[in-house]
A and B are shown apart, each in its own frame.
Chain A
Amino acid sequence: MPVGVPSPALIAHLAALRHDLGKYVAMQVRSLPAGADPESLREALRDDVARTRRGPSGTTDAGAVFAELAPALRGEAPLADGSRVDLRGDPDFDALAAAMARLQQALPRLERLEAPALRALAADALDVSQRCRALHRRLQEDARG
């Protein structure tokens, strides 16, 4: 759904999505060599998707990070300035949401996944990361005119 000129609140929200989710959801996966073995892939995904943000205040998985930020991008919750926006229909947002859904679905079975499924999951993690950045960049450019 078109959003017109993106508001500063939307841009700030997308920056948060890019930072909190996009940066960390594929941090280990990105660092793996091409053709990494399944166990390395599994370990990287465990780190990136199941323990996306971690620090003294605890551990949060990618699904929880997305669940916190996504409602305000689907018009289900207000942005910081009280406005509402619905990004559904935006190709990057839709692809991001779809990849997130696949990640969340596969996460409980992570320890049992075979190599092809692990590779597909790693590709999804990378896609989430790229889409977060692309979405923020594009709307930021739109906002700057």
Chain B
Amino acid sequence: MAEVLIVDDQDRYAELCRRAIPEHRYRGPARTWAEAEGELERARGRIDLVLLDVHFALPADRLLGAGPELSLAAAQRREGIAILGALRKRWPDLPVVLMTSRDELSLEALPEDEEYTYFLDDDMVDAQALRGQIESILSARRGDEAEGPIYWGRSPRMRRVRQRLAMLARGRLPVMILGPTGTGKSLLARHFVHARSGRAGRFVAVDLSTVPHELCAAHLFGSVKGAYTGSVADRVGAFEAASGGTLFLDEVGNLSSDAQKMLLGVLQEGTITRVGDLKERPVDAKLVVATNEDLRARVDAGTFRADLFMRLNPATAVELPPLVERDPSWPHLLAFAVERAVAGPYLRGLVDEHAAATGSAVRRVQAVAGGRVPDPEHGTLLLLFGDRALRALADHPWPGNLREFAMVVENAVSFALAEAVGVPPGERPDVVQVRAKLVRDLLLGGQTRDDSEEGWPFGVVIRPHDTLNKVAVDCERQYFFALWRHTRGDFGKMAQVLLGSEEHARKVQLRFNQLGLKVRDLRDAEAS
């Protein structure tokens, strides 16, 4: 369901749309530019499309385009174009359909070609044709914003990122992706760069923050039997595994100095030598590296090789902006996150339970944002995020970006479904309300922590199919995090608590990373 603003001094288009295309939510008709601007401001980015008439039979004092150089009739006849001009200054990439065909307008009244301005294919449009045209614009828009598991948003900046990555994907040089935690660097590497690289080989990802320094070289370049203690057989490294495909090195700043030197050799020579071996082996892997560190600062500080840094192609580095800077359409992003969340086995199980409890067959789960609930559709379960829930999501600063958003949405859906399963079905068993309070509590839960000496509260969702190990890891992760905050990030002190000696700080840090906790991310989150 899209949100459509109608700007028209007459009621006819609004009535036609509401009657014949009821699957969308309509605002308006706004009668003047002032009303349209007010609606757009109040909607705060939730309008997906504007339907704008051209002729406005209004008095001169209500016309935006009235002036001494135009007669009242002429100003009325092109008021829609004047409104379009004003709208473009504030919402440059909002799709606008001028409710006229191109040939209905005089040449001088035609707006300059703009990417997001559309005309009716035929001004004598019928409802089905109008619906088809709206759908085609909206689906192109959705294609702009979401592709596979990637959410791009609508900002010009993300459009440039996408264009640049598409270009870099096909080249032979490394691709460097920068950006704060949770912005989707690894998703982009796998589903966008690799997918567009034209390479038939595998995509191999290595998170260097979880690989012990002493094993880093063997992990990346392979090893032969006996190369190090415990090396009982020859081992293929990540570079060889990715040959013909793409190797993604996440947190590249964590490379050990030995591995940095070896990586430089690979980039220069196109060959690797397994640890403990003398034989050079050719490799041809497209390299994508990612970090949220300032690598240039690391070079200046002498902890990252300058020659390797230059080989990683920093001149074309792509920086992913935080979620809130992507001008997301929250209803679309919500639909995107819900679609991904319910594809997982746990939520699918809850959906099935809900379907069994209500005696319905659910083939599709759809997020509905805003207050209006569409009519029931056989086989569709609607997850309703009301206006207040949507506002809570839109107002949150999202320091953890897309990852945080996805987690909050998954949790919200999970709790809402779990609550709904135990309740007798109401008038609309096909609708599950995701309450605003639930959303706000989840958002608050991510922001407040109890540091009292009494201990720390745990929050663990135990799912029927979770393994004991997963539950234990969830608990351990929270304990490590709480301890890290308590010791102000001092791994020595953490080691003292956990293992009785500060000497084990490195071990603790390694486990910390293995649990998926990243110091820089946590510091960023704390700072924000």
Contact = CB atoms under 8 A, between A and B. Distances in A.
Interface residues of A, number: 29
A28 B127 CA distance: 8
Interface residues of B, number: 28
A109 interface: no
A136 B104 contact: yes
A50 to B, nearest CB: 13
A57 B57 contact: yes
B127 A31 contact: yes
Contacts, number: 67
A30 B124 CA distance: 8
B31 A55 contact: yes
Please classify the interface of chain A as helix (H, G, I), strand (E, B), loop, or mixed, using the class held by over half of its residues. Answer: helix
Contact of A140 (B11, B71, B103): B103
A30 B55 CA distance: 21
Interface string A27-40: 11011000000000
A27 B73 contact: no
B238 interface: no
A23 B16 contact: no
Given A20-B55, A80-B73, A28 B16 contact: yes
A129 B100 contact: no
Contacts of A54: 10-12
B20 A18 contact: no
Given A11-B106, A80-B71, A18 B16 contact: no
Nearest to B59: A57
A27 B12 contact: yes
A30 B57 CA distance: 24
B74 interface: yes
A28 B8 CA distance: 17
Given A18-B104, A31-B126, A133-B123, A55 B20 contact: no
B285 interface: no
A67 to B, nearest CB: 16
A130 B127 CA distance: 17
Given A30-B124, A31-B20, 9 more contacts: A16-B77, A19-B55, A19-B100, A19-B104, A30-B127, A31-B127, A80-B71, A137-B103, A140-B103
Interface of B: 8-12, 15-16, 20, 29, 31, 54-55, 57, 71, 73-74, 77, 100, 103-106, 123-128
